[in-house]
Amino acid sequence: MTETGDRTALSSSQSKRKDSKQNVLINDLNIHSSADRTTFSVSVQEVIEDPSLLSIHLQPIVDMVRGVSVGYEALSRFPFCPQITYPQWFAEAKRLNLSERLEALAISNARLKLPELPSSCFISVNVTPSALNAQVVKESLSGSLDRVAIELTGHIPSKSLERVSATLAELRSRGAIVALDDTGVDYLGLKTLEALKPEIVKLDRSLIKNVDKDPIKQALIRMVSEVVERIGGWLLAVGIEAQDEIATLIDLKVPLGQGWALGKPQDQSSEISSDLSRYISDTSHDLINSATYISLRSIAKEVRLTSTPLESKMITDTEPAYIATVDEFGQPTHLYRRNEHEVWQEIPITVLIHPDEEPYVVAKRLLSRDEHSRFAPALCLGPTNEWDRIIEVDTLFEKLAQRLEESALKLKHSD
């Protein structure tokens, strides 16, 4: 297009904007011609200059045990021109080298929604790894990040993991939690999980669709779940669209869910229906109260966490029986138990336990250790997502034996 043509398109677009917001963008989704590109480009710039043109819709993230919303994902919408989808907006912004500014605007608008949410809920904002260190994105993430989840979307090259990890550590220091799109269980995915240790890992819709009819998908979810639990994270199943999928995910112990079957994106926060909430909680309750179920939370003992080397700590009568030292990221480095002589004895950290794991799976993991550490206690995540609880082997096996005895008695009486 000539310079004169550029001016004509720009003038035409500006004239349309004066008449109506509905006419800002092209009506045809085919934006391959240079004329259409010019109109679309002007419109992307206009959105960046006028934040009110980008609205935020909220989709609930649901606790799959209690049946209540615990968070909301912030999704960008452009309601004044619905014929162009939000992926097209961000793709065009990337072509124009404006993607970081558009991401920053979406983050800022999403954070304005946080006061509208219940105090017990977080908001999840999407950030591409390449934009994480951009100045404009850093400014949109300034201040306290309590109740804010930073969801990294898109591929993270191996060479960038150290830089991304350092940035996330700073965001975590201001209260943020970290979420990752489904990373898979290939080498790169596992390396990413190990390096970033996200609090939330998303399971892609491809694994969720018809999961109730597909034992292979169920086995894959169990495998991913075990990997995520080992780093202290939580699985979030997205794209749930059927009640049978909900029931299967509850049975698979997936702790968080999101999808149209649980709640569609809306411009205001909304709770899931009371009937659905009751269905989720009743289904989970039936599972929890089955004859073979043991709550790991109920048998876990307290651990005192400290970043101070143990040599400089004095034993007091109020100290718990266990102390764990943690690094700057809250990851356990050493575990100590006070023996009968009031001396701290170091215990090797060989197993990390998630409280929603199956007790028999935990028992198998504990017994699979070598003979020197087989009966050593293992650290477990506590209610604040810190490694401040411990599972003792003898207590776990005592509970397992008790459940087996109760189950045997029930079978005897039923006969």
Indicate which CATH number applies to the domain containing 131: 3.20.20.450
Of 235, 265, 288, at which residue does a domain stop? 288
d(CA 65, CA 62): 9
Asked if residue 27 is part of any domain, the answer here is no
Q: Residues 397, 354: one domain? A: yes
Asked if residue 124 is part of any domain, the answer here is yes
- What is the per-residue pLDDT for 12? 40
- What is the per-residue pLDDT for 183? 62
Domain that holds residue 382: 296-411
Asked if residue 87 is part of any domain, the answer here is no
Residues 6 or more apart whose Cβ sits within 8 Å of residue 354:
229, 230, 232, 380, 381
Q: Residues 139, 247: one domain? A: yes
- With 0.85 as the threshold, say if the pTM is over it: no
Of 288, 307, 324, at which residue does a domain stop? 288
Tell me: the pLDDT tens digits for 127-142?
Answer: 999 999 999 999 999 9
Q: Residues 253, 272: one domain? A: yes
Q: Residues 241, 340: one domain? A: no
What is the mean pLDDT for each group of 10 consecutive residues in the chain (415 residues)? 36 40 41 55 84 94 93 92 83 91 96 94 95 95 95 88 93 94 70 88 90 90 85 91 92 93 92 90 75 72 83 58 88 88 85 85 88 89 84 90 73 56
Q: Residues 200, 243: one domain? A: yes
- Is 335 in contact with 351 (CB distance < 8 Å)? no
Q: Where does 218-260 show beta strands of DSSP type E? A: 234-237, 256-257
CATH of the domain at 313: 3.10.580.10
Please count the structural domains in the chain.
Answer: 2
Q: How far is CA 130 from CA 161, 183, 204, 327, in A?
A: 11, 16, 21, 27
| Number of helices (H), then strands (E), in the chain | 14, 16
Asked if residue 4 is part of any domain, the answer here is no
